[in-house]
Chain A
Amino acid sequence: AQTVTQSQPEMSVQEAETVTLSCTYDTSESDYYLFWYKQPPSRQMILVIRQEAYKQQNATENRFSVNFQKAAKSFSLKISDSQLGDAAMYFCAYRRRGGADGLTFGKGTHLIIQP
């Protein structure tokens, strides 16, 4: 079974600074997707960024980028120029291609932005 581990229950960063959230996963599959979801206090699950395992290039979305290390099974999220609106729970998630069993989530990292 796949597992996803987020080792940082809580992180704090000053506004405008850069922060990196860690995620490791375990799978025997070679073709899969990785995601970072954001959950603000409204509890809506918002997709931040996705990475396809067969793509070596790291995904980027504006201020959000990932460091995908397939061999190490590591998938960290970097948030540049942190903004107050980035404060939320962040979940790392895995899904194998064609995965009818859905996403496997980590336990989340609570990100605090200090003004």
Chain B
Amino acid sequence: NAGVTQTPKFQVLKTGQSMTLQCAQDMNHEYMSWYRQDPGMGLRLIHYSVGAGITDQGEVPNGYNVSRSTTEDFPLRLLSAAPSQTSVYFCASSPLGGEYIFSGELFFGEGSRLTVL
């Protein structure tokens, strides 16, 4: 009954450091995505994937890399963290194909708060 699991929940980095936010889902969802949430801005899409080996950019992709080697995992990498990347990050997933299973709803992880000093 885990759903979407994100780790870590909190992280503090120094400018220039690298890190990976992990995301795993156990619902066999084809679609996975990363959002960032900033005060007064709502949630904005960073990257998404429609299946293993397939990724694409969202609205705010600069400074972030992703890969999708398995259906379950979709890590988000910050190669050289900047203060502008201080945010709360959400991973979300959903099924994609078939009328009977596609409700449009995204299932969210609990979020990861990242601070870059």
Write out, one digit per residue, whether chain B residues 34-71 have a CB within 8 A of any chain A CB (1) or not (0).
01000011111100101000001010000000000000
Write out, one digit per residue, whether chain B residues 103-116 have a CB within 8 A of any chain A CB (1) or not (0).
11110101100000
- Of A14-22, A73-81, A101-109, the segment with at least 4 beta carbons within 8 Å of chain B is A101-109
Q: Are A44 and B111 closer than 8 Å at their CB atoms?
A: yes
- Of B17-25, B74-82, B88-96, the segment with at least 4 beta carbons within 8 Å of chain A is B88-96
Q: Taking chain B's interface residues, is the majority helix, strand, or loop, or is none over half, making it mixed?
A: strand
Residues of A within 8 Å of B104, CB to CB, are 32-33, 35, 50, 52, 95, 97, 99
User: Which single residue of chain B is at the shortest CB-CB distance from A99?
Assistant: B104
Q: Are A44 and B103 closer than 8 Å at their CB atoms?
A: no
Interface residues on A, range: 20 to 34
Interface residues on B, range: 20 to 34
**Residue B33 is within 8 A (CB to CB) of chain A in the complex:** yes
Q: Are B48 and A43 closer than 8 Å at their CB atoms?
A: no
Q: Are B110 and A101 closer than 8 Å at their CB atoms?
A: no
Knowing A43-B88, A43-B111, the reply to whether A102 touches B48 (Cβ < 8 A) is yes
Q: Which of A47, A99, A103 contacts B43 (CB 8 A)?
A: A103
Q: Which of B44, B90, B96 contacts A45 (CB 8 A)?
A: B90
**Residue B100 is within 8 A (CB to CB) of chain A in the complex:** no
**Residue A115 is within 8 A (CB to CB) of chain B in the complex:** no
Residues of B within 8 Å of A9, CB to CB, are 40
Q: Are B45 and A101 closer than 8 Å at their CB atoms?
A: yes
Most A-side CB within 10 Å, residue of B42, B92, B104, B108: B104
Contact surface of B with A, Cβ cutoff 8 Å: 31, 33, 35, 40-45, 48, 50, 56, 58, 88, 90, 92, 96, 102-106, 108, 110-111
- For this complex, 26 residue pairs linking A to B, each with C-beta atoms less than 8 Å apart, are A35-B104, A35-B105, A44-B111, A45-B90, A45-B92, A45-B106, A45-B108, A45-B111, A47-B105, A50-B104, A50-B105, A52-B104, A95-B106, A97-B102, A98-B96, A99-B104, A100-B56, A101-B58, A102-B45, A102-B58, A102-B92, A103-B45, A103-B92, A107-B40, A107-B41, A107-B42
Taking A45-B92, A45-B106 as given, write out 8 further A-B residue pairs in contact, using a Cβ cutoff of 8 Å, ordered by the A residue number: A4-B42, A42-B110, A44-B111, A47-B105, A52-B104, A98-B96, A100-B56, A107-B40
